[in-house]
Each structure stands twice: as structure tokens, then as C-alpha cells.
Structure 1
Amino acid sequence: MATTRTPVATLLCWRDLAHPQGGGSERYLQRVGAELVRRGLRVTLVSAAFDGCLDEETVDGVRILRRGGRLSVYPRALLLLAGARVGLGPLRGTRPDVVVDTQNGVPFFASLLTRRTVVLVHHCHREQWPVAGPLLSRLGWWIESTLSPWAHRRRRYVTVSEPSRAELVALGVDAERIEVVRAGIDPPVAGDRAPAGRRLVVLSRLVPHKQIEHSLDALAALRAEQPDLRMDVVGGGWWEQRLRDHARDLGVCDRVVFHGHVSERRKHELLASAAVHLMPSRKEGWGIAVVEAAQHGVPTVGYRSSAGLTDSIDDGVTGLLVDGRDELIAATRKLLENPGLARELGEAARDAAAGYSWSATADGFVDVFATVNPEVDWASFTPSAVE
């Protein structure tokens, strides 16, 4: 029989949102955690430490434990889970009713300790592994494509888009074990949309697979036609200096501002002042930035080959999907030269964005939790039950 006691959820992710390299996938998990807390669950997130961080803090009701580094976080997280099982360590007294194991290329393999594990995959990393070097990339892809599907052959999966679901099926994960739970969206904290003018915006982590170079190429290609064209690059990452060098080589340093990490308010101000949002990423699971731009009536131009953007962008309705750098430049030109079309796409994108919420995202997780651990009365922890 299901019990109505307060359930405990433990979330595992190699980074949290405060990490200097945190991005959309970290936002997704922490927003879900915060919504679960609001519904009455006890939620702990285990992630890697970083310079200057606190070992433990509570954010939006989610207890965050930071242990280890980029690689050592994985065994450290398993040790914490093992301690919870026997009443030892920081998780003692909070033995989880469900564990969400976030697979950012490599999972934590929490399933070794508990069957009550849900594997969260934003997208597969075949295209991204080469940056790790020849040996590590082969090992990483083998773990992701072969070992993990076998190790989790009896576990439930959550992913964020239909293309990502198809990728998992191609790796041998049974389709009926995969639930698509799309990201929600936070209300914008800026005021009404400012006049866009001739501004392009890129909202992204600055890492190689995001291919921000292609956005800079578009700026360079269009600068003669659009003398007042400018670009805002919002976000940080270890690839930033390479991008600055690329901008210098293209001769567009006076046209682009690298803002780095900014406040939520400033992020939305920059999105609101743009005419077009560019997302030339090699791979996306969904693309939260697409919907954040859409909140301000700003359409996105992105790559069809990225997989997830084919789910978050309705091509020709809420934005434009293109194939390659030349088409990215042509589509950007089209929207800049046809502001009426850009407004039409932007308004449709705004309407679509209104349909997403973190409450709906949490609903999807609770539905999966109910199949993983039927001993908990999960129906008692819905929005209607706690409001």
C-alpha cells in the first residue's frame, strides 16, 4: 500500500547551476527540484565542487551537496548514496525514495545501489566526445552508447525531446521505458520588450560544440549590408578566448560584446533588445534559450542537425531551421531585411512559450516516479494537493 509520508528525492548531476560551466541542463534539474520541494518533497542535489563554492547550501529549498571534481564527483556521489543506505554520512536519515541519475555523457550508475533510479538524458554526445581526445572520447562513447544502455536495461528514462528519445532508442533503450518531459520556463524578470533595432543575440555556454563561431561569421558576412548591426554574446565558458580571437580575426570586435555571466534581469534585457536569436549548436537536447528568447517575441535561427531544436523550433512558424553556416547567414539576413516576418515568427514563438511551465515538467517526473516506486502515494504531491 502506498504511504503518504514525505518522500525523499536525490538528484545527481556533475554540475549545479552555480557552477561556472552550468547551463541549461543544470537549470532544468534544479527547477524540477525546486518544484518538487514546493510540493512537499525533500530534495537533495549532489554535484561537483568548484573554486570558491560552499560544500553545502540550500537553494530554493533544494539541499545542494558539492563533492569531488569533474570526474571524482561520480564515485563521491555513489559513496554518499551508499552511506544513506546504512545511515552514515551527510545523507543519513534521507534514504531516497527515488534517485534521478543525470547522464551528461556518463551516468553515475546509481542503479548499482537502488532500483529506484530514473536516468535523465538531455541528449547523446557522439558529436561532442572528440573534444576529450582520442582515448577518452572512445571510452566515453562506449560507456554512453553500450555500457549504460545495458546497465540500465531495466530502468526508466526521462529525456527532453522526441529527437533525444529517438537517439536513445537507436542505442537500444526500449521506447516504452522513455518518457519525454520538456523543460519549463521561468517568467522573464525584465520589463516590456525594448525596440530591437539591428541586434543579434547568442545565449549559450561558450564551449566548442555550441559553435558560436558561426554566429560571429554571420555578423561578419552581414556587416557591410547592415552598418548598424551589433551582436550580444551572453554566457561564459572556457572557449571564450578562442571566440574573442575569432572575432578579432574577422574584424568585428567593435560589433560584438561578450557579456559573460549576467544576472537574470540583465539576460532578459539583452534578449528583449534583440531582433534575432542565433543558436548554431552542433547538438541540443531541447534548447531552453530558444524559449527564453521566445518570451520576448524574438525568433531563433538554429541548425536542423542539432536534433533537439527540431522540437523547440517549429520551422517557419516560431523560427527558422537551417542546414549549415551559409544558410544560417541567409536566414539571418532574411529576418533582418523583413522585420514583419521576424515579428510574425516572434509572436508565434511567444504564444508557444506560454505553454511551458516547471509545474508541468515536475508533473512528468512525478508520473515516472510513480512507476519506479509505487510504495509512495505520489498523487498526494501534485500542485492541486499542496495549494
Structure 2
Amino acid sequence: MSREHSSSPAVLFVNWRDTAHPEGGGSERYVERMAEGLAGRGYRVTIQCAAHANAPADEVVAGVRYRRRGSRFTVYLWALVAVARMHADVIVDVQAGLPFFSRLVARCPVLVLVHHVHREQWPAVVGPLLGRIGWWIESRVAPRLYRDCRYLTVSDETRRELAGLGIATARTTVVRNGLDTPPAVHAEPDPDPTLVVVGRVVPHKRVEHAVDVVARLARRWPKLRLEIVGHGWWLDNLRRHVEQRDLGDRVVLHGFVGEQDKHEVLARAWVHLCPSVKEGWGIAIMEAAAHGVPSVAYRRAGGVAESIVEGETGLLADDFDDLVRHVDRLLASGDLRSSLGAVGRARALSFAWERSVAEFEAVLVETAGLARV
């Protein structure tokens, strides 16, 4: 039941990017699904994020107001201004490594949303020196600044890692990702062994590991191919890596593709790889599973150890050699791929954004003392 617009609670998300941003990804999709779901339930929702050329400074999409201001770094200043000036009932501070420091100027409760901690990503993205500074802010400054705030994350693994930073599990709630209903596809599994990677092409996603898997298995599987779907500022480096491994005839770099094309590529793959350093959850893993495609990822890469049920929907590797062995095993066994794929498909389709929004709303209501809309 909706209230009159003027009396509906106002929620302000401060986030680094949105999904239209050239570097937008799964965490941005999560934020937007939550925002859209809340708007549909009668909340007044605003997302304050960085400006970019793919979208206007101000617009309303699916009931959510977008305010795009600032660049990669000045977005934090613009967000502080928005927090100070807007009459919100609750702030959702989305911390992708750096906090927005909203607690300093907020006049209402702050809910901290963390997809995963970034200890491993910092040096990979900004180098060792700035990486140490960034990790100090994330691991020492932010927990102290937000010590009275409630936290929300997307996996039990991140909840445990936050506890390691001094954020009590009693203050942290897990609300997992939902899954967009996959479109009908025309593709069928390719007759030749085909691997796929879906995601942003940035250093900490380690897409090069998938290329190296192909190099290691090329002699054993002469027709093995890899399709990479995604874009990002690291794409030229990845292209050079493919050339250096002399795999131009086996690796396809699709770059950005539309949703339908992405699902067609997923549907024709035999195995999906997620070699990332760290993921909060792993939406691409669930998208692949929805097509009956099992995934292989690194065991210590955060939430992937929950989006993959080891031995039931996919396999988890301890190191690169283990990753190669798991891929080889799956390529060699159609029965295993089919078994993992069937269980994975059923599990993936059980995840619904509507349920995630309901759980997210419950945390908001508790955090801000709101009456449920």
C-alpha cells in the first residue's frame, strides 16, 4: 500500500557509478534493483553518482531519480553536498572501497552497503603506495567513522570479512542478489569446447587467467575456444596478452554487447570462468547457471564460494593449476557438466529480486525507524 507522495519516506543512495556508466557492473545493478524495488513500493528514491557521457545529469528511470555529478573522485564531494542538503529519511552509503563519509554530514540514519572488502584490489588498481592508503581508509577509518551504523552486504563471506575489520556481525545483515529473468535464446551448446568469461575488463577481474587456461589446454583440446564478454579500461592490455600467447584464433573479445547477445554467448558455452580476485556475489555466475552452464572460480575470492555450491553447481579452485584441472575435468565429462548445469539452473531461477527488495526494505525500516510503506 502506497502513501501520498509527500509523506513517503525518502531514501538517498550515494554510489560511485550507475549501470549506464562505462565502468558500471554487477554491484551497480544490485543498487538499482533495490532502488527500483523501493520506488515501486512507494518510497521516494534518489541515486547520487558520478557523471558520464552515457546519460544526462538528471533523469528519472523506473521511478528512481538520478543525480549525476562529479568525476571519479569529485563524486565524493558532490555526494556530501547532496547528503547535507537533501531531506532524506535514510542514507545508503555504498562503499566500493572508499566510503562517502556521509556520516559526517547526515542528519538521518546511515545504512552502509558493502559488496566486498578490497584488500586485494587496492594494489592491483592504484599501485602499492596508494593501495596501502586506500586499504587503511577502508579497514581502519571507515569502521571507526561508521561504528554506530548498520551494515548490509550480499554474502556471508563478506559479513565475516567485515567482522575481521571490527564490524560486529550483529550489525550486519546479508541480502543476496536476485536474478533478472534470462531471455529466451536461440543458441545451443557449441559442438566444440567453449569457455566464456562475462564481466568488466579490469585488472582485478584477472581475465588473463582464462586466456592462460586456454594456453595450457590447447594441445589437449585442439578446438578449445574462449569468448570474453565485457568492456573496461584494461581491454587493450588484455588484447596484448592474447597476442603474446598467440591465441588470436582461439579467443574472441566481444567487448560490450547487449543483454540478448550476452545470453546467447552464455548459452552456447560449456563452462563459465570467474577468475576474479574478489566478488561480493557473482551475478555472471548465476546468469550462466540459469542457462545450465557450470562455473569455475577461485575458492578464496569472496562471495563466489556462495554463488557456486561446490560439486553441485560448479567447482572452486585453490590456485591456477587447480583452475586448469577443474576446467579440463568439466570439458572431459559431459555428464558432470549436465549434472552441475541442471542443479545450477534450478537454484539460479530461485533467486528473485522482489524477495531481495523485501529483505532490503526490512533493514531500512529497522535502521531508520520507518513505518513500512
State the TM-score bracket (shorter-chain normalisation).
Answer: over 0.9
Partner SS state of residue 200, structure 1: strand
1:268 aligns with 2:270: no
Residue number in structure 1 paired with 2:18: 16
SS of match in other structure, 1:202: strand
How big is the shift at 1:52? 4.8
Normalising by structure 2, we get a TM-score of 0.95
**Aligned twin of 2:48:** 46
1:159–1:180 Cα contact (<8 Å) kept: yes
Q: Percent identity?
A: 47
2:75 is equivalent to residue 82 of structure 1: no
1:129 matched to 2:122? The reply is yes
Give unmatched runs, 5+ long, in structure 2: none
Verify: 1:286 aligned to 2:281, yes or no. yes
Q: 1:167, CA displacement in angstroms?
A: 0.5
- SS of 1:305 mapped into structure 2: coil
Q: Which residue number corresponds to residue 103 of structure 2?
A: 111
| 1:222-248: CA deviation from partner (whole Å, max 9, x where unpaired) | 222222221110010111111111111
For residues 1-387 of structure 1, what are the structure 2 equivalents within 5 Å? Answer: 5-84=7-86, 95-112=87-104, 113-131=106-124, 132-191=126-185, 194-197=188-191, 198-374=193-369, 376-378=370-372, 380=373
Say whether the 8 Å CA contact 2:83–2:91 is kept in structure 1: no
Shift of 1:193: 5.5
TM superposition shift of 1:196 = 3.4
Matches of 2:187 and 2:173 in 1, distance apart?
35
Q: For each residue in 1:133-168, what CA deviation from the matched residue of structure 2 results, as whole angstroms up to 9, or x when unmatched?
A: 233212211110011101111100000101100000
Cross-structure match for 1:385:
none
177-186 or 43-52, which deviates more: 43-52
Distance in 2 of aligned mates of 1:358 and 1:264: 17
Task: Note the alpha carbon deviations across 1:295-323, whole angstroms, 9 max, x for none.
Answer: 10000000001021111111111000011
Task: Note if contact 1:190-1:266 (Cα within 8 Å) is conserved in structure 2.
Answer: no
TM-score by length of 1: 0.92
Residue pair 1:115, 1:155 contacting (<8 A) in 2 also: no
How far, CA to CA, are the matches of 1:42 and 1:55 in structure 2? Answer: 18
SS in 1 for 2:296: strand
Which sections of structure 1, spanning at least 5 residues, go unmatched?
Answer: 85-94, 381-387
Spell out, residue by residue over 1:262-287, the C-alpha distance to the aligned partner (whole angstroms, 9 max, x if none).
Answer: 11111111111111000011111111
Provide the secondary structure at the position in 2 that maps to 1:306: coil
8 Å Cα contact 1:193/1:296 also seen in 2? no
Q: Distance in 1 between matches of 2:330 and 2:113?
A: 36
Contact 1:128 1:209 survives alignment (8 Å): yes
Q: CA deviation at 1:192?
A: 5.8
Separation of aligned partners in 2, 1:38 and 1:137: 39
Total equivalences in the alignment: 366
